[in-house]
Amino acid sequence: MVDQAKHPQFTDEHELYREQIRNFAEEELQPHADEWEEQRKFPREVFEQMAELGFLGARYPEKYGGSGGDVWHTAVLCEEMPRCRMAGLTLSILVQMEMCTPVINELGTEKQKKEFLEPAIKGDKVGALGVSEPGAGSDVAGIRTTAEKDGDEYVINGQKTWITNGTRADFITLAARTDTDPDMRYGGITLFTFPTDVDGFEVGKKLKKVGNRTSDTAELFFDDCRIPEEYVLGQENMGFYHIMQNFQGERLVGALTGVAGAQLILDDTIEYAKDREAFEKPLTGFQVIRHRIVDMETELAACRQLAYHAADLFERDVPAQKEISMAKAKVGERAMDVIDECLQIHGGMGYIEETNVARAWRDTRLMSIGGGTTEIMKEIVAELMPLRPD
């Protein structure tokens, strides 16, 4: 459990919530890790189970089935879900909770909330975030999928890729270009709530990834897909700015989860180093190993405090783009460094694919890529300092 004397933002209520999530992750999910990793998927019923326990709506209004909690409830879930030992499953759940639905809660009409947000919180519908394209990943303004107005409908054409939950999504929070004028690069994008039962929508191939194997990641195709104008989410042609705001929550949960996942592997490694003997003494009997472990513990403590600081600003509605970008960049690099060092301490055992440290080594590599690369995070911070010459 978290030491509330050191981290007083976590109340007794948060710690009870932590215990519930930890038990669920360790007892209900972790036993299936090897099987689901091998299958490269997990059952849809996991969404339903987590909804029944109130985990999918932690900080959403009770009106729509949520628990009315705060960002620290989300932080607790980010810190405990990695105990399931399937980063892909954790990612899929966070896409549902913190990536495709927050913008619906913040900008959606009452009808959109009832049709998409409420069933997502209840686990009845699975959602995805449809932004990335083959030629536009971190460069959101470069998307080419179009939504052309035709009467009281929009006709959508294009392609999305690297879409988590893509093969089983019931709806997509979709970004499309509604103004193709080159001068409207940032101002010509609109968000939509897009139900996937629309004619012309097709799931392409499921993508095979290096890590995060239990999450389904897919190519999506849109061929003259017609949706009513009431599915416009927020203001027309303001989608780029809506996405940038939505990214703040996505990047924050990425940082929080990344720290927790690395800490879990470091804790495993400490126990391994205490038990594993070399030259007639445990690995922790060697000063070089002890100091390596201390360095890693220190790095993660620093990363955690940076992520907590960003979360505090986010919760208080204080502009936090700089701090969130710093946290995601820092965690993306340091978490990978820590897990790589943990694998080294495990030696040959760490290179066996079925081990937790090997799985985490594969999975954590995504941290500095997904949700905006480390390079993009640093450029955001550079702009906000500011460093770029006029």
Q: Please identify every residue annotated as catalytic.
A: 250
CB under 8 Å to 280, separation ≥6 — which residues?
A: none
Question: Which DSSP category does 12 fall into?
Answer: H
Token readout for 155 is 């006709």
Enclosing H/E stretch for 203: strand 201-206
Give the SS3 label for residue 150: strand
Question: Which DSSP category does 136 fall into?
Answer: B
CA pair distance 353, 362, nearest whole angstrom: 9
CA pair distance 329, 381, nearest whole angstrom: 10
* CA-derived radius of gyration, the chain: 21
- Asked if 70 and 11 touch (Cβ cutoff 8 Å), the reply is no
Among 231, 268, 274, 260, smallest CA distance to 343 is for: 268
Token readout for 55 is 């985990």
Sign of the alpha-carbon torsion through 371, 374, 375, 377: positive
CA pair distance 185, 349, nearest whole angstrom: 50
